[in-house]
Homo-oligomer: A and B are copies of this chain.
Amino acid sequence: MYYLEIDERKKLILREVVQRFILTGNPVGSKVIAQSGKLHVSPATVRNEMAALEKMGFLKQPHTSAGREPTNIAYRYYVDILLSQKRPSHGDVEAAEQLFAVRNKEIEGMFKEASILLSELTRTAAMVFAPIEITHIVHRIDLVPLDYTHLVVIVITSMGQVGKRMIELDFSAGRDSIQVVSEFLNGEISGTDISGLDKEKLLDQSGFEGETKDLAAVVLEALASCLDVLEERIFVGGTSNIVREMDCEGREWVQRLLEAIEKQDFILALLKDLVQIRRLTVRIGEENEIRELKRCAFVGTSYPVAKGIFGSLGIVGPTSMDYARAIGIVEYIAENLGRILYRVM
C-alpha cells in the first residue's frame, strides 16, 4: 500500500473532497476546501496537495480546469481509513423500529420489509438474501385433491418451511387412495431427511398396487422437486432509487443494471458469496465482479438465522454514496434482522 506517504494534511483534504463530492455531486475546487475552516492554509497550498493526491491516484479532474473528484481508490481509502464510523442516526433507528415493532409477522414479510426499509433509509436498491437450511427434516406431508386429476403436494419441514407443488395425473385418483398414500408417507417420512430419500425402496415397502402405487410414485417424484422450491429467495426493494441516484450514468447503463437486478442470478451469487465472507463488505466500482455493478458501489454484510446458518443483505448505490450512513444502516438492519430471526426461522 502507498498509504504511508499520506500525511495528516493530505488526509484532511482528501476526506473533505470525498465528503463534499458525496454531498453535492460536483467536483470540488481548492478554494472551498481552504475556506472550509478545517484547514488554515491558502487555496494555493491546497492546490499543491491536491496535485500530489492526483498523482497518487486519489483524485481526478473531469477536465483541466475543473475541481477534483475522488477516484474509486479514494473511496476505498475513505472507507478503510478515513471513515469516522457513524452509527445510524436517531431518525434512522426510529424508522427502523417499525420493522421490529410489528410482531407475529409472517416470516417472509420480515425479509420483504427489511429490504424496503433498507432501500428507503439509504435511498438505494436493497436486497436481502433469505437462506434455507440445507437439510430438510420433514414435519409433515399433505396431499390436497383439487379434482380427479389434480392435486397439490405440500411438504412442511421441521423448521416450519413449506414447499408446494401442483401435479397433474394422467389417471384418476380417488380420495381414499390419496388418503392412504398420505398416511403412509407421513408415517414413513416424518422426521427424516427428505433429500436422502430412496423412492424405489419406499415404494416397495409400501405394498401399494395399481392406481395407488402410481399415485405414490408421482407424489414421491413431486416431493423431490419440492426441495427446489424451498430454494433460497432474494427480496429486492427500492430499485426505482437507481433511476434517481444514477442520473450521472447513461440510460442504457441504468437499464442494464435494473435488468441484472431483476434477473437475480448474479445478485444471488453475490449475496451467497457474502455469506461466506461473513463480515461487512464494501465493493467500489471495479472491485465488483458483476459487470453491471462496476459503476456502482455495493455495501453488504451477513446476519445469522441459526447456528451456522447465515443470510446476507446489501445495497447497491452510486460510488459517491454516503458510505458512513450506508454502513451504519446496513449493519444495524443486519444486526436486528439476525436478532429477530435467530432460532426462529
Q: Within the complex, which residue of B106, B158, B258 is in contact with A144, where a contact is CB–CB below 8 Å?
A: B158
Chain B residue numbers with a CB within 8 Å of A222 are 104
Q: How far is the CA of A158 from the CA of B255 in the complex (A)?
A: 43
Q: Is the CB of A247 within 8 A of B251?
A: yes
**Interface: A165 (CB within 8 A):** yes
Mark the stretch among A16-24, A237-245, A275-283 that contacts chain B: A237-245
Q: How far is the CA of A256 from the CA of B151 in the complex (A)?
A: 42
Q: How far is the CA of A184 from the CA of B297 in the complex (A)?
A: 54
Given known A162-B164, A166-B160, A229-B106, contact A146–B240 (CB-CB < 8 A): no
Nearest opposing residue in chain B for A147, CB measure = B343
Nearest opposing residue in chain B for A240, CB measure = B258
A223-253 residues with Cβ-Cβ distance < 8 A to B are 225, 229, 237-241, 243-244, 247, 251
Q: Is the CB of A240 within 8 A of B225?
A: no
The minimal Cβ–Cβ distance linking A146 to chain B, given in whole angstroms, is: 6
Contact with B along A147-164 (1 / 0, CB 8 A): 100111010111110101
Chain B residue numbers with a CB within 8 Å of A238 are 262
The minimal Cβ–Cβ distance linking A49 to chain B, given in whole angstroms, is: 36
Chain B residue numbers with a CB within 8 Å of A109 are 229
Q: How far is the CA of A166 from the CA of B262 in the complex (A)?
A: 28
The minimal Cβ–Cβ distance linking A145 to chain B, given in whole angstroms, is: 9
Given known A104-B225, A164-B107, A259-B240, contact A159–B139 (CB-CB < 8 A): no
Q: How far is the CA of A151 from the CA of B146 in the complex (A)?
A: 28
**Interface: A322 (CB within 8 A):** no
Q: Is the CB of A144 within 8 A of B139?
A: yes
Q: Is the CB of A164 within 8 A of B106?
A: yes
**Interface: A103 (CB within 8 A):** yes
A164-183 residues with Cβ-Cβ distance < 8 A to B are 164-168
Q: Within the complex, which residue of B105, B154, B262, B345 is in contact with A160, where a contact is CB–CB below 8 Å?
A: B154
Q: How far is the CA of A147 from the CA of B344 in the complex (A)?
A: 8
Q: Is the CB of B258 within 8 A of A239?
A: yes
Q: Is the CB of A160 within 8 A of B156?
A: no
Q: Is the CB of A168 within 8 A of B247?
A: no
- How many copies, total? 2
Interface centre among A106, A225, A345, by most chain B C-beta atoms within 10 angstroms, is A106
Chain B residue numbers with a CB within 8 Å of A92 are none
Chain B residue numbers with a CB within 8 Å of A167 are 104
The minimal Cβ–Cβ distance linking A186 to chain B, given in whole angstroms, is: 11
Chain B residue numbers with a CB within 8 Å of A262 are 237-240
Q: Is the CB of B144 within 8 A of A142?
A: no
**Interface: A140 (CB within 8 A):** yes
Q: How far is the CA of A201 from the CA of B108 in the complex (A)?
A: 31
Q: Is the CB of B140 within 8 A of A159?
A: no
Q: How far is the CA of A107 from the CA of B163 in the complex (A)?
A: 11
Q: How far is the CA of A280 from the CA of B103 in the complex (A)?
A: 42
Excluding A151-B160, A243-B255, 4 further A-B contacts by CB distance (< 8 Å) are: A106-B166, A142-B142, A144-B156, A244-B255
Query: What are 27 contact pairs spanning A and B, CB under 8 A?
Result: A103-B168, A104-B166, A104-B167, A105-B165, A106-B164, A106-B165, A106-B166, A107-B152, A107-B164, A140-B142, A142-B156, A144-B158, A144-B159, A146-B159, A147-B344, A152-B159, A154-B160, A154-B162, A160-B164, A168-B344, A239-B258, A239-B262, A240-B259, A240-B262, A241-B255, A243-B255, A243-B258
